Amino acid sequence: MLQQLANGVFAGSIYALFAIGFTLVFGVLRHLNLAHPAVFTAGAFIGIEVAARTAIPIWILFPVVALFGALAGVLVERIAFRPLRGRDDEHFAGLISSVALGGVVIALLQARYGTDPQHFAADYFPNRLFEVAGVRVTLTQLVTLGLALVLMLGLAWLVSATSLGRSMRAVAENPTAAKVLGVNVGRVTAGTYALSSALGTVAGALLALNLGQAGRDLGASIELVGFAVIILGGLGSLWGAMAAGVVLGVAEALTIHLFDSTWKSMVAFALLFAVLVLRPRGLFGHVKVREV
């Protein structure tokens, strides 16, 4: 049982990492970036290729992947969202154009890597097994959890205590007012996308490391759960996404342990449904006065 809880926490930390990247963009810019799962998948493939080509150690690999991710994020904003800015249907059109861009990214991945799944070389990150208080954890799982925690706390600190974070919060509150007050909205927008995609690509590479391989459907496999995490935690809430990721991961692991894998998705979405009915703004969402 304890082992299943641990499994859930590890799986949940990746859900959370996927979800906070997505929810960050929504929280600050009100954009639903549906290219995020494709960027996540790209992160896994890029991580695998960089590891195979350069054999750099893992603590350098993730910053490199994040760099690619940041670049991808800036491109996603430029291509899928900026051209639509100021239109009446800006949000809806952006949602559709990001779906399209996601499709393009997946097609590009297929062109470069083919249809076969890619994987890290077995000796790239030798796996060690630890036993802590009767719970078996692998080194990969520890790295995943540690990195996820560092990134999530780092993001929370960045948003609350740095000048970029202050600008982001200002834009989130009221973009026009922020502009009047001298905030460079264009730069904040690009920065938000860069951060979001950097988190997404790192999450993708981490998942690939955990699973042993990555296929083009890696993002699609986590997409729905990721969205459930975001709604569960409250759209736009960073802390909510982190908590909900773990809640959902644990719920899934326990469902498989106690019942059957067939019930896994049902439990995830029943949780989602219950939260939508009982707490429409999610576990951590709060009523925004501004919109009234």
Give bridge partners of residue 136 from the DSSP assignment. 131
Q: At what angle do helices 238-258 and 139-161 cross, to 10 degrees?
A: 160
Would you say 18 or 26 has its CB closer to other proteins? 18
- Residues 246-285 binding other proteins (CB under 8 A) are 252-253, 256-257, 260-262, 264
Q: Does 218 bind other proteins (CB under 8 A)?
A: yes
CB of 255 to other proteins, least distance (A): 8
Q: Does 88 bind other proteins (CB under 8 A)?
A: no
From the number of C-beta atoms within 10 Å of its C-beta (0-12, 13-18, 19+), residue 24 rates as buried
Residue written as token pair 């900026």: 82
Q: Does 125 bind other proteins (CB under 8 A)?
A: no
Residue range at the interface with other proteins (CB under 8 A); choices 21-29, 133-141, 178-186, 195-203: 133-141
CB of 244 to other proteins, least distance (A): 17
Would you say 24 or 207 has its CB closer to other proteins? 207
Of positions 58, 67, 210, 281, contacts other proteins by CB under 8 A: 210
Sketch the per residue contact string, 14 through 53, with other proteins: x for CB under 8 A, - otherwise: ----------------------------------------
Give bridge partners of residue 118 from the DSSP assignment. 214
Q: Does 140 bind other proteins (CB under 8 A)?
A: yes
Q: Does 213 bind other proteins (CB under 8 A)?
A: yes
What does the binding site for other proteins look like in residue numbers (CB under 8 A)? 3-4, 7-8, 10-11, 115-117, 119, 121-122, 127, 129, 136, 138, 140, 207, 210-213, 215, 217-218, 221, 252-253, 256-257, 260-262, 264
